[in-house]
Amino acid sequence: MGIRIVRVTLVLLAGIVMSTISPSCKISYSFTGANISADVKTFSVYYFPNRARLVNPNLSTEFTEGLKNKLLRQTSLNEITDNGDLVFEGQITDYEVRPMAIRQDDLAAQNRLTITVKLKYTNNKDHEQDFERTFSAFEDFSSERSLHDVEDSLVPEILAKLYEDIFNATIANW
């Protein structure tokens, strides 16, 4: 009986503590991993121009549209063309292939395709969360294949990693 009284007392104390703390906390939870305050309703993703030396002609559009789709799928935010509560802008700064694993005869056994994006994130509801950051992701491929042969399959994989990293750094606040 004594243990039951202690248990009930602890539960009551926890309830009192939580009821006094929770009104001052502003927490928002979502099953998609989004952590957005209730006053954020919209987002804008501006076109990301490709400023890399090696240019994939479809990359800018593919990246920009893919980021919009990620935000639409994983949040309840509405997309607007300009000046959303959250603004994503920037540029693709690098698109490069480098040799990675070198064989005995000084030839590459594997190559790495890396895409780098410079992002400026603005939270118009809480400017303390604003930042500028560079995100990079890569995929390796056999040097026996050309970039042209693997590009169509590797680019979507790399972009998916970039979208996830950007989502986690902005919306999920990780």
To which residue do tokens 């954020």 refer?
Answer: 40
DSSP 143: T
Pairing of strands 78-79, 42-45: parallel
Residues with Cβ within 8 Å of 19's Cβ and at least 6 positions away in sequence, in order, are: none
Whether 62 is covered by a domain: the verdict is yes
Q: What pLDDT digit, counting tens, does each position of 122-149 carry?
A: 999 999 999 999 999 999 999 889 999 9
This prediction has a pTM of 0.78
Q: What pLDDT digit, counting tens, does each position of 57-101 carry?
A: 999 999 999 999 999 999 999 999 999 999 999 999 999 999 887
Domain of 70, in residue numbers: 28-170
Whether 125 is covered by a domain: the verdict is yes
Whether 82 is covered by a domain: the verdict is yes
Distance of CA 173 to CAs 93, 106, 114, 148, Å? 24, 43, 24, 36
Query: Structural domain tally of the chain?
Result: 1
Which CATH number covers residue 151? 3.30.160.150
